[in-house]
C-alpha cells in the first residue's frame, strides 16, 4: 500500500489531466465527442424501458415505502433507472479496467511512469462519465420522487464504489496483461453478471431466504441497493447490517489481494508487454 501511495505522490495534476485526455481519446473522431458516453447509456435505458414497460405487459407498479406515512408507488422504469446508473460505471470498471495496462502499454514500455497511476487516471475518467449520468438521474429523481436527506448517502457509496473497483483492477489489469484469455473471460461473463445482479429486479425480494442470503455476497448488489437506498427507499446505509458486514469483508479481501497481485506482477509488466 505504501508503494502505491508513494507512486501517486506528486502526480495529482497529471492524473487529472490524463483522465481528461483518456475521455477525449476514447471518443476521438466522433462528432459529438464525449457526449457518446451519455448517449450510449441513454439508448440502453430506452431499450430496457421499451422492453419491460411496453413489450412485457405483465410488469406491474412496485409499491415502495419511501419513509412517509403512506406507501409511494413508483413504476418499473424508475426502479430500473436508479439501479442501472451504478451498473454502467461498474461494467466499464471491470471490463475496461482489465484492459487498461495492455491498452496503455506505451507508458510502461517506453516511458518511466508509475503503473498504478495508469489504473487511477483511467478510473477517474470513468468517474467523470458516472457523475454526468448521476446529474441526469438526480434531476429525474427530484421531479419523480422528490429530494431527501438520504440522497447525501451518495457521497458515501460513490467513493467506496470507486475505490473497490480500482482495487479490483490492481489484480485484473496485471493478470490480463499476462494472459489475454483472462481478459476475454472477464468480457464474456459480464452479461451473465448483469442478470445475476439486482439491476432489473429486487435482490431482496426472492421467496427463498437462502437465495436472498446468497445475493448478499454479490458486491454489485451492495452498490445497486445502496443507490436505491439513497434515492428510492430512503433507508440509511446501515439498514441491513448483514449485507454491510459481508461487503466489508469482501472489500478488505479485494483490497489486500489487489495490493498483493500488483506488487507481485508490476516489475514483470515491461517484459510481458
End-to-end CA distance of the chain: 24
Count how many Cα atoms sit within 13 Å of the Cα of residue 254 in the half-sphere of its side chain.
20
What is the per-residue pLDDT for 233? Answer: 87
Tens digit of each residue's pLDDT (9 = 90 or more) over 73-90:
677 788 889 999 999 999
Which helix (H) or strand (E) segment holds residue 73: the answer is strand 72-74
197 grid coordinates: 445482479
Q: Pick the residue with more confidence: 127 or 3?
A: 127
What is the per-residue pLDDT for 29? Answer: 55
Predicted confidence band of residue 47 (pLDDT cuts 50, 70, 90): low
Quick count: other Cβ atoms within 10 Å of Cβ 179?
Answer: 12
| Residues 79, 83, 84: CA angle, nearest 5 degrees | 115
Predicted confidence band of residue 55 (pLDDT cuts 50, 70, 90): very low
Spatial separation of the C-alpha atoms in residues 8 and 21, rounded to whole Å: 18
Of these ranges, 18-27, 29-38, 59-68, 226-235, the one predicted with the greatest mean pLDDT is 226-235
What is the per-residue pLDDT for 272? Answer: 78
Predicted confidence band of residue 70 (pLDDT cuts 50, 70, 90): very low
69 has pLDDT over 50: no
Quick count: other Cβ atoms within 10 Å of Cβ 86?
Answer: 27
Tens digit of each residue's pLDDT (9 = 90 or more) over 179-192:
877 877 887 788 77
Average the pLDDT over each of 130-139, 142-151, 179-188, 219-228 and give the range with the smallest value. 179-188
Spatial separation of the C-alpha atoms in residues 111 and 58, rounded to whole Å: 57
What is the per-residue pLDDT for 72? Answer: 59
- Note the helical H segments in the chain: 2-8, 12-26, 36-49, 76-103, 106-109, 115-144, 154-178, 180-196, 209-215, 219-228, 241-265, 269-272
Amino acid at each position: 500500500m505504501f508503494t502505491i501511495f508513494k507512486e501517486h505522490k506528486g502526480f495529482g495534476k497529471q492524473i487529472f489531466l490524463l483522465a481528461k485526455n483518456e475521455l477525449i481519446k476514447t471518443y476521438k473522431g466522433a462528432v459529438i465527442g464525449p457526449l457518446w458516453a451519455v448517449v450510449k447509456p441513454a439508448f440502453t435505458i430506452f431499450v430496457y424501458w421499451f422492453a419491460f414497460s411496453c413489450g412485457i405487459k405483465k410488469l406491474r407498479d412496485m409499491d415502495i415505502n419511501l419513509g412517509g406515512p403512506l406507501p409511494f408507488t413508483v413504476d418499473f422504469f424508475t426502479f430500473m433507472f436508479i439501479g442501472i446508473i451504478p451498473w454502467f460505471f461498474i461494467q466499464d470498471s471491470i471490463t475496461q479496467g482489465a484492459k487498461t495496462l495492455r491498452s496503455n502499454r506505451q507508458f510502461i514500455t517506453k516511458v518511466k511512469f508509475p503503473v498504478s497511476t495508469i489504473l487511477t487516471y483511467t478510473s477517474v475518467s470513468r468517474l467523470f462519465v458516472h457523475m454526468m449520468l448521476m446529474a441526469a438521474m438526480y434531476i429525474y429523481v427530484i421531479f419523480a420522487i422528490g429530494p431527501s436527506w438520504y440522497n447525501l448517502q451518495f457521497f458515501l457509496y460513490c467513493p467506496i464504489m470507486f475505490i473497490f473497483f480500482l482495487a479490483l483492477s490492481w489484480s485484473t489489469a496485471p493478470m490480463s496483461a499476462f494472459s489475454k484469455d483472462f481478459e476475454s473471460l472477464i468480457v464474456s461473463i459480464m452479461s451473465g453478471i448483469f442478470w445475476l445482479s439486482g439491476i432489473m429486479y429486487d435482490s431482496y425480494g426472492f421467496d427463498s431466504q437462502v437465495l436472498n442470503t446468497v445475493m448478499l455476497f454479490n458486491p454489485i448488489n451492495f452498490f445497486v441497493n445502496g443507490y436505491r437506498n439513497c434515492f428510492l427507499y430512503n433507508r440509511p446505509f446501515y439498514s441491513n447490517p448483514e449485507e454491510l458486514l459481508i461487503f466489508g469483508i469482501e472489500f478488505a479481501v479485494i483490497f489486500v489481494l489487489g495490493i498483493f497481485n500488483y506488487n507481485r506482477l508490476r516489475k514483470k509488466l515491461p517484459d510481458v508487454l
